[in-house]
Chain A
Amino acid sequence: MKYKNITNKDLHIPNVGIVKAGEEKEMPKGFNNANFKLVKAEKKEEVITNNK
């Protein structure tokens, strides 16, 4: 799952590395940190074309 660093600081996550301020990064399962927000996957809109 992808999380965004919502602080204005670069943060070092043990076993992950440095996540820059505002950066989104894939985090390991079970990740839980109040300085990060889960990035919800955008729903892909299905475009229906009616080609007659």
Chain B
Amino acid sequence: MPNYLADNSFIAVKPQVDSTTAIIPTSFIPLLSESIRVNPNFQANRAMKGLSWKSDELLKGSRKIEGDIEIWADPDAIGHLFNMMYAKTSTTGDAASGYTHIFDPGEGDSYSIDIVRGIYAQRLWGVRGDNIKISFEDNKMKATISVKALGQFSSASLAVALTGAAMTAIVLNTDYDLRPTDGLVAGDIVNVGGVDITLTSVNADGKTLGFASITVTASANDPVSLKAQTPSFTALQEPFYFGGTLVGIGADSSAADTAAASRSTASPCYEVGMELMNNLLDQPASGYTGAGALLNQVKSGTLDITRLFTDPTQFQKWVENVKQAVTIITTGRFIKTDLTTSEMLTVKINKTKLITNEEPLEVGQYIMDKQSFEMLYDSSDADSITVTLVNRTIGTDY
């Protein structure tokens, strides 16, 4: 039997028109790692039935599909992650100068995501971002998004045997889910009995797939798997770099913007990282084995900065609970050929306050301000955070 190296994997993503209608993903993103798992929450059946053994069967619990996707944060790919987290409010610009996308903390798009595992793909649908972590690893910006999904299709089994010539439909077993075909769409290719079959319809009954007449033979309970796509990449972008990142800190957002505008006014930082949380609720719903919807709860965020200690100003701001606004601008490669526009990620945090400001002392080490900020809603700006991304991706892709 063949074996498969994970290096041949990747993910493909596309925003859905609504939370429940899957779509074939068309944007391919190189992957650092992923840990998305389907958890049917199997538990031993502890009913009393005359046994001296714990149980003779497992029963399904409430299903969860969740996990992490980790990528280098290149200007195009990170747009999809922010679009899963927040609402894109506008796109302006053009191909020559670059497109400017603005993301505010509203409801992000639901996505279909294909994760390639060897010869088959796992199609997650109704995927939303639960939280995103931005960090830097050896100068490169890394994004890790924790996602939740409403459902998935990867492999199922035949309920009814296929007997040879002129087959036009497949009926799937319902042991995993009463609607095992959810997540598949016309145009997908499934493999059954060693034959690739292009779907022409996905029946509303949730278990029948239609296709043009074909000769295929397979027994009941044989596997039916989603065929992995061949990846196609646009010109691969470099990730954003720590070296292109300026952190502006000021009394308000205007002062923070000014500070972030140049290296001379920005605050030199040793490390910068942030986490934005949607705190999604898996809404249980009758008719669904897992979540029926992924609902927003209150959003929040934290910002961690480590910088060389110079004076006790930050200690004072911590203990006196003083507001600080932070604007982080990361500039990437140029877009316009005259170098007047560049890829750029701007995270504007209107109000933060220090949860902790540690200045640990270690022999032989410079003293650092190790700071953890809570991102807060700013009543005077009537805003909390705005993410602005300039890249080469046309607005219709998000």
Contact surface of A with B, Cβ cutoff 8 Å: 7, 9-14, 19, 27, 30-36
Per a CB cutoff under 8 Å, which of B25, B234, B235 touches A34?
B25
Q: How far is the CA of A48 from the CA of B370 in the complex (A)?
A: 86
B128, CB-defined interface residue at 8 Å: no
Contact surface of B with A, Cβ cutoff 8 Å: 24-26, 187, 189, 196, 227-236
Please name all residues of chain A whose beta carbon is closer than 8 Å to the beta carbon of B26 when the two chains form the complex. Answer: 7, 34-35
Closest to B114 in A: A34
Give the tally of cross-chain contacts (CB within 8 A): 41
Q: Which residue, of B227, B228, B232, has the highest number of chain A Cβ atoms within 10 A?
A: B232
Q: How far is the CA of A36 from the CA of B234 in the complex (A)?
A: 13
* CB within 8 Å for A10 and B25 given contacts A32-B228, A32-B230, A33-B229: no
B189 lies within 8 A of A32 (CB): yes
Please name all residues of chain A whose beta carbon is closer than 8 Å to the beta carbon of B231 when the two chains form the complex. Answer: 13-14, 33
Closest to A9 in B: B234
8 contacts between A and B (CB under 8 A): A7-B26, A11-B233, A11-B234, A12-B234, A14-B231, A30-B196, A32-B189, A35-B26
B24 lies within 8 A of A34 (CB): yes
Q: How far is the CA of A15 from the CA of B228 in the complex (A)?
A: 16
Q: Is the interface of B mostly helix, strand, loop or mixed?
A: loop
Q: How far is the CA of A10 from the CA of B367 in the complex (A)?
A: 50
Distance to closest chain B CB from A11 (angstroms): 4
Q: How far is the CA of A11 from the CA of B228 in the complex (A)?
A: 18
Please name all residues of chain B whose beta carbon is closer than 8 Å to the beta carbon of A32 when the two chains form the complex. Answer: 189, 196, 227-230
Known contacts A12-B232, A12-B235, A34-B26; can you find 13 more A-B pairs with CB under 8 A? A9-B234, A11-B232, A11-B234, A12-B234, A13-B232, A14-B231, A32-B228, A32-B229, A33-B229, A33-B231, A34-B24, A34-B187, A34-B229
Per a CB cutoff under 8 Å, which of B196, B227, B232, B235 touches A35?
B232
Closest to A16 in B: B230
Please name all residues of chain B whose beta carbon is closer than 8 Å to the beta carbon of A10 when the two chains form the complex. Answer: 234-235
Please name all residues of chain A whose beta carbon is closer than 8 Å to the beta carbon of B187 when the two chains form the complex. Answer: 34
Per a CB cutoff under 8 Å, which of B24, B25, B228, B233 touches A12?
B233
Distance to closest chain A CB from B111 (angstroms): 14
Q: How far is the CA of A49 from the CA of B242 in the complex (A)?
A: 74
Q: How far is the CA of A19 from the CA of B196 in the complex (A)?
A: 24
Please name all residues of chain B whose beta carbon is closer than 8 Å to the beta carbon of A35 when the two chains form the complex. Answer: 26, 232
Please name all residues of chain B whose beta carbon is closer than 8 Å to the beta carbon of A13 when the two chains form the complex. Answer: 230-232
Please name all residues of chain B whose beta carbon is closer than 8 Å to the beta carbon of A14 when the two chains form the complex. Answer: 230-231, 233
Please name all residues of chain A whose beta carbon is closer than 8 Å to the beta carbon of B236 when the two chains form the complex. Answer: 12
The 4 residue pairs across chains A and B that have the minimum distance between CB atoms? A11-B232, A34-B24, A33-B230, A12-B233
Q: Which residue, of B187, B229, B236, has the highest number of chain A Cβ atoms within 10 A?
A: B229
Please name all residues of chain B whose beta carbon is closer than 8 Å to the beta carbon of A36 when the two chains form the complex. Answer: 232
Q: How far is the CA of A5 from the CA of B230 in the complex (A)?
A: 13
Closest to A6 in B: B26
Distance to closest chain B CB from A30 (angstroms): 8
Please name all residues of chain A whose beta carbon is closer than 8 Å to the beta carbon of B233 when the two chains form the complex. Answer: 11-12, 14
Q: Which residue, of A13, A19, A33, has the highest number of chain B Cβ atoms within 10 A?
A: A33
Q: How far is the CA of A27 from the CA of B229 in the complex (A)?
A: 13
Please name all residues of chain A whose beta carbon is closer than 8 Å to the beta carbon of B228 when the two chains form the complex. Answer: 32
Q: How far is the CA of A49 from the CA of B124 in the complex (A)?
A: 58
Closest to A19 in B: B232
B232 lies within 8 A of A33 (CB): yes
Distance to closest chain A CB from B88 (angstroms): 20
Closest to B95 in A: A8
Please name all residues of chain B whose beta carbon is closer than 8 Å to the beta carbon of A30 when the two chains form the complex. Answer: 196, 230
Q: How far is the CA of A43 from the CA of B236 in the complex (A)?
A: 39
Please name all residues of chain B whose beta carbon is closer than 8 Å to the beta carbon of A33 when the two chains form the complex. Answer: 229-232
Please name all residues of chain B whose beta carbon is closer than 8 Å to the beta carbon of A34 when the two chains form the complex. Answer: 24-26, 187, 229
